[in-house]
Amino acid sequence: MIAEALDDLCRELLLPHHCYYDSLEELLLYNTLQCLAANAGVRVPPSLSMASVNELVHMAGRVLPVAHMQQFNEYARELAKRMPSTAPINFPPMIGLAHDDMPEAEHAAALYLQHGTGSIWTAVRHVITLLPFKAVKRQHQDQPQSQFSAGAYGHRSFCGLCQNTNLFGSALRLINMFICSLRPELHWTTIVITVDNVAGLHTDKQNAPFCSLVVGLSHHSRGRLWISKRPGFSCLGPGRHQPMEGYWLDVAARAFLLPTYSHPHLTEPAEEGNRFVLIAYVIGQYESLRRQHVEELLSYGFSLPGRIANTAAEAVEIVD
């Protein structure tokens, strides 16, 4: 559902109600834990920005003195009474049973799919924290940044599937179901998840001309994204750039549909908590993907644009 159109292309999307209330309960408990910890003179780890309700309660028991813990427990009990209840969500069909040889994130995702129902917000965030992130440096970044990529890749005239794609099929089914719940008509071939990403002004010029979905998964502070109101880098002559107008967007636990392929944008550092952001987009070379790769992407829950998806759809079999 569209919550707010910032302009003709930039839009904020409402989280589905079951995700919103799970996120809200986490945020309120996270803020309470931070305040009580600060009052007690103890620090909480930045990773708690991705903690579930149960993990926050567990951490409170580890770091808070007894009196502060009693305050936290009383607040948590009252909050649980007042939060609207949400029904479990049906997860996608499983690919296969979980086994010990799987990577940790894939094993956790496979168990969620085996169980069949639950909180998609909690499941996706849990699985994402277990993914094998690696340091990648882009032209618009001063130093390497932690990220995880899966789906299709495109580099000049080459395209194919990222190495992680077939290793994390169950995880991708969960993540892509979550993406679809935010914007059912969205097309995407690729997901990238970043941690504490800081990027200078740039455009995603290698992407196809489709808006990207940008979702903040963590309860961090600051770490905003700025995007220009207009496409391209305005210039009045050699060395004379016209100041750009744009939007500062707080992406913490929020979702946006943005024309990053054409509109310059940047990100600022987060100040409290790790900043996890999920990005879904279409590679520029998507029409050159082999049919086999298209079928694999569709089986993992990606949604490819029009003709290329339609030609392969009949050949895709989802294992139930």
Q: DSSP string of 8-64? A: SS-EEEPPPHHHHHHHHHHHHHHHHHHHHHHHHT----GGGGG--HHHHHHHHHHHS
- Residue range 153-172: mean pLDDT, rounded: 94
Q: What is the pLDDT of residues 64-109, one digit of tens each?
A: 999 999 999 999 999 999 999 888 999 999 999 999 999 999 999 9
Per-residue pLDDT band at 215 (split at 50, 70, 90)? very high
- Residue range 202-221: mean pLDDT, rounded: 96
What is residue 319's predicted lDDT score, i.e. its pLDDT?
Answer: 32
Per-residue pLDDT band at 1 (split at 50, 70, 90)? very low
Choice between 70 and 318, residue whose per-residue pLDDT is larger: 70
- Residue range 246-273: mean pLDDT, rounded: 95
Full set of structural domains in the chain with CATH = 2-16+134-313 (2.60.120), 17-82 (no CATH)
Say yes or no to pLDDT of 241 above 80: no
How far is 279 from 179, CA to CA, in rounded Å?
9
Total-model pTM: 0.91
Say yes or no to pLDDT of 138 above 90: no
What is residue 318's predicted lDDT score, i.e. its pLDDT?
Answer: 35
Choice between 243 and 150, residue whose per-residue pLDDT is larger: 150
Q: What angle do CA 283, 284, 290 make, to 5 degrees?
A: 75
